[in-house]
Structure 1
Amino acid sequence: MIRQPTSKAAQYDFWRRTVAGERVPRFEDGPEPGFYKRRMVRGGPFVPVEIWLVQEIDPITGELTADERFEAICNGQLCDPMAVWTYCRAISAEEYDALTGVRERIPDMAVIEAALDLGRMAAIRP
């Protein structure tokens, strides 16, 4: 039995189509590779989430040497992709890049376990 790795196009199909505005069926028990955002608490700031597929591939045959598995990083920390997937919203790579540095630029965004008062922030920011 030949065990072919999932192509990059197939891996990121859900994410690309969702970011493009297409309504794509989503399954809670099946994370999809891509860039996402989520809140850690209701009303809190969005934090970046990236989900990817780990593939161990034999360099000679190009076949998988182990089962493919998902991994994820949420707000700069490795996490369980199944635990974060349900709360993720697809975003563009540019929005993901912007979110990864927002904690350094806006100190209020560093507190991810508390709701964010956007009205107060607008009043104190020029």
Structure 2
Amino acid sequence: MIRQPTRPRAAFAWWNAALRDPRTPRHDGEPQAGYFKRRMVKGGPWVPLRIRLVQAIDPVTRELTEPEYHVAEQDGASFDPCPIWTHCRPISSQEYQDLLGRQAALPMMAATHAAVDLSQTPIQPGA
């Protein structure tokens, strides 16, 4: 049986639909590729997260050599996205880049396991 890799358009179809309509159905245990944000603790800062489809492709035949699977990437770590999938909010790739920049520039945004009280420490939008 020849296994063709999932094309990027198909891999990102759910994410694109969810950006247009946040009510797009999501199924527990079935993560989808895209850019997301989530909170590590209640009241904590938004943390950027990317879920990508891993594909082992034979360079000669361009066929899959093993099953495809999703992996989450956050703060330099890779892990199984299934346990956190339903807690992720889809965001644009630009918002993902902005969150990465804020995390690098603002210490309070990098402290992902601490709640942030913006009434005590306000930050400028886009900072």
Normalised to the residue count of structure 2, the TM-score between the two structures is 0.90
Contact 2:29 2:83 survives alignment (8 Å): no
Q: Could you list the structure 1 runs, at least 4 aligned residues long, displaced by more than 6 angstroms after superposition.
A: none
When the two chains are superposed, the root-mean-square deviation of aligned CA atoms in Å is: 1.5
Superposition deviation, residue 34 in structure 1: 0.2
Superposed displacement of residue 26, structure 1: 0.3
Identity %: 46
Instruction: Output the CA distance in 2 between the equivalents of 1:22 and 1:99.
Output: 19
What are the equivalent positions in structure 2 for 1:37-48 lying under 5 Å apart? 37-48=37-48
Match of 2:19 in 1: 19
When normalised by structure 1's length, the TM-score is: 0.90
Q: Secondary structure at the match of 2:56?
A: coil
Alpha-carbon distance in 2 for matches of 1:45, 1:65: 39
Letter in 2 for 1:15: W
Paired residue secondary structure (1:49) = strand
Shift in Å, 1:13: 0.3
**Residue 27 of structure 2: SS of its match in structure 1?**
coil
Q: Give distance in 2, aligned partners of 1:89 and 1:79.
A: 17
Measured after TM superposition, the shift of residue 80 of structure 1 is 2.0
1:62 matched residue in structure 2: 62
- 1:81 matched residue in structure 2: 81
- In structure 2, stretches of 5+ residues that fail to align are none
Cα distance in structure 1, aligned partners of 2:101 and 2:10 = 29
**Structure 1: gaps spanning 5 or more residues:** none
Q: For residue 75 of structure 1, what is the amino acid of its counterpart?
A: D
